Every structure is written in structure tokens, then in C-alpha cells.
Structure 1
Amino acid sequence: MTDIHPFYLSAAGELHTLVPDSAFQFGVLETMRAGHGKIPLWEFHRARLQRSASLPSEDLNAVSASLEQVTSRTQNWPEGARVRLRYGVLQDTGTDKPVWDLRVEPLEKASPWTNGVLLGLCGTRLTGDATRSPFAPGTRSLGGGSEHAELYGCKLLVRDVYTRAAAEWPARATTGEPLLEPVLLEPNGAVIEGIRSNLLLRIGSDWVTPRLDQFGVRGVMLRWLAGQVEISEDTLYPSDLAKADELAICNSVRGVIPARLLASTPEVLQMDSQIQSPVRPGRATSVLQALISEELW
């Protein structure tokens, strides 16, 4: 089989490389999955992109046309593709006109998420600014709360708080072991999200997810799932994670992944036997995974 290589697209056409995220003054991000000639959640990504950045029609049409090229070029990639769309304003260009680009790379034959994830609580606290639209007029002077709820829940290119949270836990790359997903709380201690995912708690016969009206990214996979099964939102704390009958995370590239809460701290993680064994999906989590396989990919 011919080797599969990443490729890069922008308004200027195909590129050999892309500038780093740090080259942007501000912007938003959409990370999508492509495969079998489609991007199954594009309508939800597009809706969040428009809510976050209010793209003019010419930009949105150009992005959509390039994504058609992406689906055509990746339709025979055996594991599908990860598509990273950036839309933002570059630094030091003398213009505030936003630009966009796409990074398209193959998904791994053996997913690093296969063995589930371990949830590690972070001391870094999530702020409303971390997911508030940088494009809305006067955004930086707005207070929190439902009055400006439409400005929140965006996925930003500037992800400093997530970088700091990730740095609290050691990187794990051991084959056969679960990945570690750092979990962010808001200033009052309520659980919000993983650094790459939304959280799902199975409590009795119900699925519950943390409230995302003032903090956290309103995930596309979470939105899709909420249209298929009943998922309620509530204020949740670490004790709720500990008591849940099942834990899972979800995102738009990996779907639903079973999770387990770590009792250890970063300092003693390497001595914790929990890190060795895979996290197996419970019955309710398996139902969600099957739904995604049947309906999306």
C-alpha cells in the first residue's frame, strides 16, 4: 500500500507546512474526524465555528470546499483522518483579517486510546476566558453568566490553561496501558472537562455530564450523543466521579472511551497499580460506542 502522508490546505492552496499556533494572535479551533468519504460531524463543527467566529460566507464556503477535497483524498485511508481546522488572526501582519488552514493526518492503525483512559484531577483551574469567543466585540470586558452564554464553550487556539494542566501529570506512552487524561475543575471545585474531552458519568440508569454554561468546551461529540440518548447536565464534583457507576470521555475524533478515576497524585503515579490494567467499557458505555460505530464510522 502507498504510504499515507499528512497534507496541509489553506486559502492559498496546498502548503508544505503550517505556521505554529503561537503565530496566531487569537483564533478558534475545530478538530474533526474524516473517513469513508465524509466528515460525519461537520454540521456540528460548522455550527460551533459560526457561533465562535461568525465567518463571512466567502470564508465558510472556501473551508467547506477544501473539506470536500479532504474527504475525497482520505476516503481510502484505512483508519480515517484527523482534520485540524484553525481560523484566526495572525500576529505581526498589519491586518486583522482572519485566515484559515487545515492539517490532515492519518489516524493510527492501533489507537493509543484502545486501553481506555485514567482521569487525573488537576490543580490548575479553568477560567471562563479559556473558552470564550475572541471574535465577539467587547468580549474581553464581558462578565460571566447566562446573559452572554452564546460566547462561551468555544475551542480556542490559545490553550495556555490546558497546557498548564497537562504539565501537572507525567506523559505516558507505555504500550498496553491506558492513556492519562488530566481533568480541569472550575474555581469553586466543580468538575468541568478533560483537556481533550468532555466527561460522561453513568449514575444509576442515567447519563450525566458537567454543566458547560460558563466553563469548558461544548464538545461536538457530546452534542451529537445528546441527540441520540438522554444526557442531563449538572454541577458535579470529584466525589461524583468517584461514585459513578461508569465513567467515560468523548470527543469528535475518538468517540467514547471508557475511563477510571485515579486515586493517586502525580507524585506517586508510578507506584499506583491502577495504571497497569486497561479500562474496560461498562455495559452503558458499550452501547454508546456501538451507536457511534453504527451511525458515524
Structure 2
Amino acid sequence: MVTSTCFVDGKPQAALALNDRGLNYGHGVFETMRLSAGQLPLWHYHCQRLSEGAERLGIALDLPRLQAYLQQALAAFPAAGIVKLLLTAGVGPRGYRQQDQASSYVLQYFPLAPVVEPAAVRLQICQYTLPHNARLAGIKHLNRLDQVLAAAELDAGFDGLLLDVAGDVVEALSSNVFIFDGRRWLTPALTLCGVAGVMRRLLCEKIIPEFGHKVVIQALPLNSLLKAEEIFVCNSVQGVQPVSELVGEARWSAGSSQLPGSETQKVIASLAEVYPCFAA
């Protein structure tokens, strides 16, 4: 059995061709997935988002080929960690116009960060604002310069809260945002910018409705977040993480992991019942 932490088009290697369109133009999509017991528990959701992103960007996606590459990689990777999947428009000639070339498939393994005592997230508003682009909104494309510029502002120990050019809340740096206003859960609409996370979709469609709440998806002014009773951020690697502070603006006691009665803790417990790898 081949042991490797990176495969490109089914071959153990860790480099893309210099003329790959993903490298030159960000012409590609990617997924960052939790690996548990040798399986990708949220693969169904990741695959759907990958397919949508590839279609929007005009990238050919051969699902049987991808499945074969994925099984090969999972057999070589450790049983637990993070798998990053990149799908690019492949190697092509110089110039923006896309030719009829084969796509590139990259699978990488990364270990999970060391387990520490669960801690609430501290957020900091980024001065950099996300531009509106409905054509790219929602998908996880390779051009992450917005996040790079926003991350450069952050102080140590803080995650970034990203607003759009209209001043509405969009997301955290690498996760989606949910707020509880005392009656219901809300999360920002992502029709103009932002990434529609896999965990966000799972929570909206399955986890939160199972205990009687409906998630409202709408534009979310910053003032609504400041007035919220509880806030959490979520992604497909870390699961659900309570928020305790928006620096200089507000604090939330329900962000403490020591408050099992909070609505956030109910979400965490419900998620862990279905997917134990996300247990706090």
C-alpha cells in the first residue's frame, strides 16, 4: 500500500504544474473535510457543493474518477484528521481563456490540531469588507484574497468577523455565523458574497429543526448580532464553537462551554449525537 499525505491525479506527489489554472488564476474549487475513523462523515454535502462550484466555474468534474482517487487516498491517510480536496481547471496555455483541458484533482492530509479544553471564540471586526459578487457567492473557490487581507488585520487570539460593503454580517474568517435572538436562530443570507458552509447547511436542514427551531436565513445587520442572546460559529472541521466576545462591542456569557443549558450547547449536543466526531 502506498503511504503518502498528498496525491495529485491519483499519484503520490506534492506539486502542481506551473501552468495549472488553479495556481495561475485561482480557477478551481476546494473542500476541507473532517476525517474520522477512516471516513468523511459529511462527504455527501461536500460533494454537492463541489459539484455546484465546478459547474459555475466551468470545470469538468468526473465523479467516478474522483471517488476512485478519494478511496485510494483514504487508504493511505491516517484514520483521523483533515482532508483537503482541490479541483482545478487543469493545465493549460497562457491566457485567461479556458481551453479543453483535463481537470486536476489534489487530495492532501493534515493532522487535527491538538485537543485543548473547549474555549469560546473571541471575534474581531475586520475593516476589510467583502465585495458583492453573486456569480461567486456561496461556492468555495480557490481565490481567497479577501480572507488573506482580512486575516492580516487580526490580533493574536481572535477570529475575524467579516462584513460586506453594505455593513451586514457575512461570516467569520473560515466559518459561518449563527445568532439566537431569544426566539429563533438566524444566519446571514449568502447570495451576494461569502461561503455557504457544509456545516451551516447541515445545521439549517437537519440538526436545529430536530429540536423545534427553524433557522431564518436573511440579511443580518451588525446591530442584530450585537443584540443577540447567543452566537456561535461553525465549520466542517471544528463543528460548532460558542462565541464569547466581539472585541470592543459585546460579550456573551452563553459563550462559556460551562453553560449546558444554553441554546448553543443544545446544538452542540444534538450534532454530537448524529456525528460523534464533533463532540466538544
Sort the TM-score into its range (normalised by shorter chain).
Answer: 0.7 to 0.9
AA matched with 2:268: Q
Gaps of 5+ in 1: 134-151, 173-178, 266-273
CA contact (8 A) 2:7 2:107 kept: yes
- 1:103 lines up with 2:108 in the alignment: yes
Name which of 272, 283, 286 aligns with 2:265. Answer: 286
3-state SS of paired residue (1:261): strand
CA contact (8 A) 1:115 1:278 kept: no
AA matched with 1:280: S
Take 1:66 and 1:284, find their aligned partners in 2: how far apart are those partners? Answer: 40
CA contact (8 A) 2:197 2:235 kept: yes
Q: Deviations over 1:177-233 (max 9, x none)?
A: xx4211111111011101100001011131110111222111100001112222111
Q: Deviations over 1:52-77 (max 9, x none)?
A: 103645x3222222222344445x64
Take 1:224 and 1:52, find their aligned partners in 2: how far apart are those partners? Answer: 18
Q: Deviations over 1:258-278 (max 9, x none)?
A: 11332339xxxxxxxx8xx99
Match of 1:14 in 2: 12
CA contact (8 A) 1:197 1:250 kept: yes
AA matched with 1:62: R
Tell me: CA distance 1:240–1:6, structure 2 relative to 1, closer, same or farther (3 Å).
Answer: farther
CA contact (8 A) 1:201 1:245 kept: yes
Name which of 212, 216, 235 aligns with 1:232. Answer: 216
TM-score, reference length from structure 2: 0.80
Deviation of 1:18 (Å):
3.2
AA matched with 1:114: P
CA contact (8 A) 2:28 2:141 kept: yes
Tell me: CA distance 1:43–1:261, structure 2 relative to 1, closer, same or farther (3 Å).
Answer: same
- 1:65 lines up with 2:68 in the alignment: yes
Gaps of 5+ in 2: 209-213
AA matched with 1:64: Q
Consecutive aligned runs of 4 or more in structure 1 exceeding 4 Å deviation: 19-22, 90-96
Deviation of 1:102 (Å):
1.0
Name which of 153, 156, 181 aligns with 2:159. Answer: 181
Match of 2:240 in 1: 256
Cα root mean square deviation, aligned? 2.8
Take 2:154 and 2:107, find their aligned partners in 1: how far apart are those partners? Answer: 29
AA matched with 1:251: N
Deviation of 1:49 (Å):
0.8
3-state SS of paired residue (2:158): strand
Match of 1:176 in 2: none
Q: State how 1:168-247 maps to structure 2 within 5 Å.
A: 168-170=153-155, 172=156, 179-228=157-206, 229=208, 230-247=214-231
3-state SS of paired residue (1:120): strand
3-state SS of paired residue (1:128): coil
AA matched with 2:243: A
CA contact (8 A) 1:36 1:71 kept: no
Match of 1:51 in 2: 52
3-state SS of paired residue (1:250): strand
AA matched with 1:115: A
AA matched with 1:7: T
3-state SS of paired residue (1:165): helix
TM-score, reference length from structure 1: 0.75
Higher relative contact order, chain-length normalized (CA < 8 Å, sep 6+) = 1
Count residues with an aligned counterpart.
251
Match of 2:211 in 1: none
Deviation of 1:91 (Å):
6.9
